[in-house]
Amino acid sequence: MAPGPARAALTEFVLKVHARCDLACDHCYVYEHADQSWRRRPVRMTPDVLRAAAGRIAEHAAAHGLPDVTVVLHGGEPLLLGPDGLGQVLAELRRVIGPVTRLRIGMQTNGVLLSERFCDVLAEHDVAVGVSLDGDRAANDRHRIYRSGASSYDQVLRALALLRRPAYRRLWSGLLCTVDVRNDPIAVYEALLAQEPSRIDFLLPHATWDDPPWRPAAGDTAYARWLRAVHDRWRADGRPVPVRLFDSLLSTARGGPSGTEWLGLDPVDLAVIETDGEWEQADSLKTAYDGAPATGMTVFSHAADDVAASPLLARRRSGRAGLSDECRRCPVVDQCGGGLFAHRYGAGHFDHPSVYCADLKELIVHVNENPPEPVRLDAGLPDDFIDRLAAPTGDRVAIGRLVEAQIAIVRALLAEVADRLPAGGAGADGWEALTALDRSAPESVARIAAHPYVRAWAVDCLAGTGTGARQGPGYLSALAAAAALDAGVPVRLDVPVRSGRLHLPTMGTVLLPEVGDGTARVETGPGSLRVRAGDVTVAVSPGAAGGPRWWPTRRLVAPDVSVLLEDGDPHRDCHRLPADDRLDDAGAVRWAETFAAAWQVIRDEVPGHAEELRTGLRAVVPLRRSGDGVSEASTARQAFGGVAATETDAGSLAVLLVHEFQHSKMNALLDVCDLVDGTGPIDITVGWRPDPRPAEAVLHGIYAHAAVADIWRVRADRQVDGAQAVYRQYRDWTAEAIGALQRADALTPAGSRLVRQVARSMSGWPS
């Protein structure tokens, strides 16, 4: 019998723990918009409701095997519970949900009551705190005021100063700003940036077709104009802080998730629990009509599964099919997603585009036409970046940031190689062509720069060692030719030939034994490659199968993933184990079959790691098998996204790929973030090695072995023979190493946070 469709799961729950507020913001959808159900609800959530709500969330997480859930405390104003009341709520959530799944807790607050005592409670329970601020004093006080009309600005700034303290900085998840186009966009941006937030979230004011937003004139796209001004300044500043709206558009432009219900086609997996225990849909629906968010269910009468299965939420999980005809025909629908569901309401139904449709379209086109410069390596990482990289659920957006950072590093290395070129020397024409291509075909240049072994060459070239020195700076011409071939752009370049091989990274190798060591003229065009060396001419169609003079770079392909089978790049031999020679056709077929089977294992056992591998894995290098026949694998410090492994079975290859990519992620993270305190040498004894290891190597081992333990934990749960013993070994090794590394006091705050998150992920595992 074919399995039925998977049941929808909810992963985020908003708890209305206090239904009143100490401010009187006139743009508040809870009190000032169409739905007025707050008037009949209890002021605060009672212990009985809290207990039932926590139980329903735990029940849902257990039933669906959710590795984590998020609970956001909301209101009203959660701080009106007082420190003791808030602490009791947090302790109950941790008590009931914590044993079942990893619990992430957040809180959205206006901040005016925040104090050290509150911060200590929040720190004890590891709560991420978002604060609302609309800009400078004038902008903020346009809406966020007390009932008396008094300003709340000074109190909010005092709260932010508290959250910037080292003891509390990790709690602060960012600022939420509601746009008012009457405020100066740059003044608002600068005021928010001055608070040093970990993230900024710009929200459009809630409105519908029945109650449209204020505009200077009918048909005016003032909201797009306002956000474009902020985007351009943010881009010019080098993206100094993540801005969720802009980051979402950049992600969806690449086919990634939006990470927000405001944009994109991500399925909605959120439900609200009110103070009286009623299940509701997203709060934003309160702006549509009275009763719009209601489900008719409570935590006492209905499970979360009932809410997730309701027709009300089903439409919001239906993607493009749930949009209006006009939206489905729109060229930017995959990025816009129709806009926020509540903003589509009018004349009694939601079958409209967003009331901000014209603004969103204009903004999306502008962002797409003005892509960001490479990320700054010393700034711009979100405050939760470490947490996201430590999460066993995987985070392809975080991996995408690492990929961007690696491309930026490679660009800098290439520029350094070019800076050392003598005038008219080998590679000068290649560098000129590469920089021209970066203007006309930047995506092709980025694809070549993302290849793991381009960085390996550049590092060796600059150091004057290994194959990088042997290829020399003339290899810049090979990079330019490869990028031109990828883009279908004509170039004519002299490219180095070494040992009779001319290699174009990611594309393939032309065999020219007559040349030995020298150069050959490469000409590219749309779908064509011609190589001439003396009397020898080789004409190749890049998509053609191999021949006596052309070894194309083959690919390993499985559902939703494709990586290079890299057995030709001269710089792939940078791993601690020797790379194998070019595979024959039978060997390549075996690798393809094993990889496809291994990929299915990864998707089945650890789907979060599959998401990350899909985003960051670029190439698999076959290794020469050692005499004892043991499966081996390796990553190289300077080759992010490359994994080398011996030929093995699918189950073993799945483990090797996950294991080694963890090392690759750690290498990339170390490029952009200091994790180890290098003030003194520290050697630590670990279970997986007989010799004491330095702190960085121990950190690598913890990160990689925790992932391996997770795979074997899944296999042990499925009663695979021998899995329990392997799981326990890797779990114990990792736990003991975490304790030893923490006792050694060898980590930076970021490194400590990473280790804590790994330990927290493991805390719910069976002993």
Instruction: Please report, rounded to a whole number, the percentage of residues in the chain having pLDDT higher than 70.
Output: 95
Given a cut of 70, is residue 125 above it in pLDDT?
Answer: yes
Task: Give the pLDDT of residue 376.
Answer: 36
State phi, psi for 27 to the nearest 5 degrees: -100, 15
Q: Give the tens place of pLDDT for each residue, 305-350.
A: 999 988 877 776 677 888 889 999 998 998 998 889 999 999 999 9
**Count of C-beta atoms within a 10 Å radius of residue 40:** 8
Q: Which of 189-193, 432-436, 512-516, 631-635 has the lowest mean pLDDT?
A: 631-635
Q: What are the boundaries of each domain within the chain?
A: 12-369, 420-543, 674-767
- On the question of pLDDT at 3 being above 60, the answer is no
Compute the mean pLDDT over every residue in the chain, rounded to the nearest whole number.
89
The pLDDT of residue 377 is above 70: no
What is the separation, in whole angstroms, between the first and last Cα of the chain? 36
Task: Say which residue, 762 or 514, is predicted with more confidence.
Answer: 514
Statement: 12-369 belongs to CATH 3.20.20.70:
yes
Integer Cα distance of 270 and 254 in angstroms: 24
Q: Which two tokens stand for residue 272?
A: 């609200």
> 382 versus 396: which is more confidently predicted?
396
What is residue 521's predicted lDDT score, i.e. its pLDDT?
A: 96
Give Cβ neighbours of residue 466 (< 8 Å, ≥ 6 apart): 460, 571, 574
- Closest by CA to 674, choosing from 752, 735, 744, 616, is 752
**Higher per-residue confidence, 164 vs 730:** 730
**SS3 state of residue 634:** strand
Asked if pLDDT for residue 605 goes beyond 60, the answer is yes
Q: Is the pLDDT of residue 648 over 60?
A: yes
> Which structure tokens are listed for 703?
């990160």
Instruction: Look at residue 451 in the predicted model and tell me its pLDDT.
Output: 97
Query: Residue 708 has which token pair?
Result: 């391996």
Higher pLDDT pick, 466 / 294: 294
Cis peptide before 76 (omega within 30 of 0): yes
What's residue 761's pLDDT?
A: 79
Token digits of residue 470:
């042997």
Mean pLDDT to the nearest integer, 651-672: 94
* Alpha-carbon span 338 to 257, nearest angstrom: 15
Query: Distance between CA atoms of 454 and 295, rounded to whole angstroms?
Result: 55
Contacts of 43 (CB under 8 A, 6+ apart): 18, 19, 20, 275
Check whether 4 has a pLDDT greater than 60: no
CA distance 106 to 131: 11
Q: What's residue 2's pLDDT?
A: 33
How far is the C-alpha of 238 from the C-alpha of 232, rounded, in Å? 10
What's the Rg (C-alpha) of the chain? 28
Amino acid at 318: S
Choice between 474 and 376, residue whose per-residue pLDDT is larger: 474
Higher pLDDT, 282 or 181: 181
Let me know: does 599 contact 610? Beta carbons within 8 Å.
Answer: yes
pLDDT per position as a tens digit, 511-564: 999 999 999 999 999 989 999 999 999 998 877 777 889 999 999 999 889 999
Pairing mode, strands 561-565 and 550-552: unpaired
Query: Quick check: 372 pLDDT over 80?
Result: no
With H, G, I as helix, E, B as strand and everything else as coil, classify residue 524: strand
| Residues 66, 52: Cα–Cα separation, whole Å | 19
- 268-279 pLDDT, tens digit per residue, is 789 999 999 999
pLDDT band at 571 (very low <50, low <70, confident <90, very high): very high
351 DSSP 8-state letter: -
Question: Rounded distance, CA 54 to CA 52, Å?
Answer: 6
Indicate whether 296 pLDDT > 60: yes
Question: Could you say which DSSP state residue 344 is in?
Answer: G
Residue 94 pLDDT > 70, yes or no? Answer: yes
Contacts of 475 by beta carbon, 8 Å cutoff, 6+ apart: 427, 430, 457, 461, 468, 496
Q: What are the tokens at 208?
A: 């519908």
Mean pLDDT of 106-128: 94
* Sign of CA pseudo-dihedral 416, 418, 423, 427: positive
When mean pLDDT is compared across 245-254, 474-483, 510-519, the lowest value belongs to 245-254
Q: With pLDDT > 90 as the criterion, what percentage of the chain qualifies? A: 63
Band of residue 626 on the pLDDT scale cut at 50, 70, 90? confident
Residue 374 identity = P
Query: Up-side HSE of residue 495: CA atoms within 13 Å toward CB?
Result: 29
Are the C-beta atoms of residues 179 and 226 closer than 8 Å to each other?
yes
Give the closest residue to 342 by CA, choosing from 264, 286, 265: 286
pLDDT at residue number 172: 87
pLDDT for the residue 216: 93
Residue 718, burial from CB neighbour count under 10 angstroms (0-12, 13-18, 19+): exposed
| pLDDT at 395 (0 to 100) | 77
d(CA 24, CA 35): 16
